[in-house]
Amino acid sequence: MTKNHPDISCHCRRGRNNHCFLREQPCPVDARPLSRTCGKHRVKVCRIKGDRKICAKMANLGIMPGTEMDLLCRRGGRQCMVKVNGATLSIDAATADNLFVTSV
């Protein structure tokens, strides 16, 4: 997996797809969907895409731009377990596609 995936950087720069939350600062170029993030490390959510329901559900779970979370499973974001605000969440691939994160 390349760090600067062209599709990802394109999403982040243009940002025309229903973004859920207030963006205090632009999404960095190396932001990538959680589903394409590998390894166990700490990431920071920079943007959440998707329909109103997904955005609301993420907000309910406390996942918002600026939220830092630990990616727990080695297999990466396709089948993803993250630690957010002390809680462990499992996130499926379709949802993980909508969460754009950067490494912390």
Partner 1 sequence: MSAALSIALAGNPNAGKTTLFNRLTGARQHVGNYPGVTVEKKEGFFTWKGHEIKVTDLPGTYSLSAYSVEELVARDFIVNERPDVVVDIVDASNLERNLYLSCQFLELGVPVVIALNMIDVARSRGIEIDADKLAELLGVPVVPIIARSGKGVDKLFDTILETAGTAKNIHPVMLRYGFDIDQALSEMLPLIEDNNLLTDQYPARWIALKFLEHDEQILEKARAANAGLTDRLLQICEKITNHLQQTMEVYPEAVIADHRYGYIKSVLHQGVIHEKFVGDRLYTSDKIDKIVTHRLLGPVIMAAVLYGLYTFTFNYSTSLVDLLATVFSTADTWVNAHLPDGPLKSMIISGVIDGMGGVLGFVPIIMFMFFGIAVLEDSGYLARVAFMMDRIFHFFGLHGSSVMPFIVSGGISGGCAVPGVMATRTLRSPKERMATLLTVPFMNCGAKLPVLTLLIGAFFSAHQARYMFLATMAAWLVALIAAKFLRMTVLRGESTPFVMELPPYRFPTLRGLVIHTWERTWQYIKKAGTVILGISIMLWAMMTYPGLPQDQVNTFARQRQIIEQKLQQLKTDATADDNIRPAGSNLMVELETLNSNEARARLRNSLAGRIGIALESVSRYAGFDWQTNIALVGGFAAKEVIISTLGTAYSLGDVSTENTTSLKERLAGDPHWNPVVALAVLAFIMFYAPCFVTIVCIAREAGSWKWAFFSMTFNTIFAFALAVCIYQTGLFLGLGG
Give residues in contact with partner 1 (CB under 8 A): 15-16, 18-23, 52-57, 59-62, 64, 70, 72-75, 78-79, 81, 83-95
Contact between residue 23 and residue 47 where contact means Cβ atoms under 8 Å apart:
yes
Contact between residue 15 and residue 33 where contact means Cβ atoms under 8 Å apart:
no
Q: How far is the CB of 31 from partner 1 (least distance, A)?
A: 15
Q: How far is the CB of 65 from partner 1 (least distance, A)?
A: 9
Question: Any alpha helices (H) in 2-99, and if so which ranges?
Answer: 6-14, 52-60, 93-96
Q: How far is the CB of 33 from partner 1 (least distance, A)?
A: 15
